Amino acid sequence: MASSGSWVPVGETTRVSNATRSSHSRPPMRSTSSPLLRDRGVASTPLGVPISSSEIEPSDVVILVSGTTGSGISNFISKLTGIAEDPRTHDLTSYTTDVRVYACVRDRQRFVFVDTPGFNATKLSQRAVLRKAAKWLKSTYQNAIKLTGVIYMCRITDTYSSRAEQQSFRIFYGMCGRKAAGQVRLVTTMWDQVDDDTSAWQRQNRLEIEWESLLSAGALCRQFYNTSESAWEIVYGLGYQRKVLLLQRELVDERRKLKKTTAGMRAPENEVLNFFSGIRKLFKF
């Protein structure tokens, strides 16, 4: 992984154009005091460590990473933290079934990355995945922790979005809401595996149409090229502004039950889980 002293910007696109790309300048480094590093026992290096949610503090840059199963959520966090990715996360079945939290220090700022199960997980229903994310979001918000960013990941190598993937995005939109859209990045992955650029950009354009509800509210599309530099470019592009998600406001401020929240009303209980369970029974695996 590149050190903070060798950070090099990588081109990003705003609204997708396969002919035009714009570079984003690096946000100014926020001033932080030395106790941020000393008290945490985390070295001032990009190498990250797993932490518990109770160790997160309001001064941290906290970024939640979500998306579809097999889109490379854990791989993206591995490129940011230097923590080795479990090889079981490389296939299209879900390995991550719980929320996991990792921290690393870069440019004297501690970053916290939250690894969540994919919304179309094979082992969990979409509502079960949402329930795990909601529990974490509610707890951290009650502890005065606000997110700096939310990243949603999707494979560029797929030819189309399945019904489950479209449903996943609708749940994600309900989780974030329009007011937090400016801190949302919709990231396509696996660009390093693209053989046909034209097909890939056509896929990107179709995704933008599907994602219009968040893009029109201020979210941005980004591409991840499976490198540390590409991952950090996406993270730095979020800046340091903090937002409260719609789901957090509904759960905490409005005291709604999960099933009564915007995201909860979009999440079927067992539709995806039952589908894959039926496939397993049919083929006996």
Cα radius of gyration rounded to whole Å, the chain = 18
- Please report, for residues 13, 88, 163, 170, 207, the alpha-carbon distance to residue 210 in angstroms, rounded to integers and kept in the order given: 17, 29, 12, 10, 5
Q: Which helix (H) or strand (E) holds 58?
A: none
Choose which CATH entry (3.40.50.1220, 3.40.50.300, 3.40.30.10, 3.40.50.720) describes domain 49-266: 3.40.50.300
Q: Which long-range CB contacts under 8 A does 273-277 form with residues at least 24 apart? A: 273/122, 273/123, 273/124, 273/125, 273/128, 274/125, 275/164, 276/122
DSSP-derived pairing of the beta strands 109-115 and 100-106: antiparallel
At residue 121, the pLDDT reads 61
Q: Which helix (H) or strand (E) holds 77?
A: helix 73-81
At residue 84, the pLDDT reads 84
At residue 271, the pLDDT reads 53
Query: End-to-end alpha-carbon separation of the chain, Å?
Result: 38
At residue 180, the pLDDT reads 98
**Helices 163-176 and 271-283, axial angle in degrees (round to 10):** 150
Residue 99: phi and psi, rounded to 5, are -75, 130
Amino acid making up residue 221: C
Structure tokens at 79: 């490129």
CB 7 within 8 A of CB 232: yes
Quick: pLDDT tens for 261-272.
999 999 876 554
β-sheet with 109-115: strand ranges across: 49-51, 100-106, 109-115, 61-67, 149-155, 184-189, 220-223
Structure tokens at 262: 């915007």
The DSSP result for 42-57, as a single string, is --SSS--EEE-GGG--
DSSP-derived pairing of the beta strands 149-155 and 61-67: parallel
In tens digits, the chain (285 residues) has pLDDT values of 444 433 333 333 334 343 333 333 333 333 333 333 434 444 445 579 999 999 999 999 999 999 998 999 999 999 999 998 765 544 444 456 789 999 999 999 999 999 998 876 657 788 889 999 999 999 999 999 999 999 999 999 999 999 989 999 999 999 999 999 999 999 999 999 999 999 999 999 999 999 999 999 999 999 999 999 999 999 999 999 999 999 999 999 999 999 999 999 998 765 544 444 444 434 544
Interatomic CA distance for residues 140 and 122, integer angstroms: 27
CB 177 within 8 A of CB 213: no
CB 235 within 8 A of CB 111: yes
At residue 169, the pLDDT reads 96
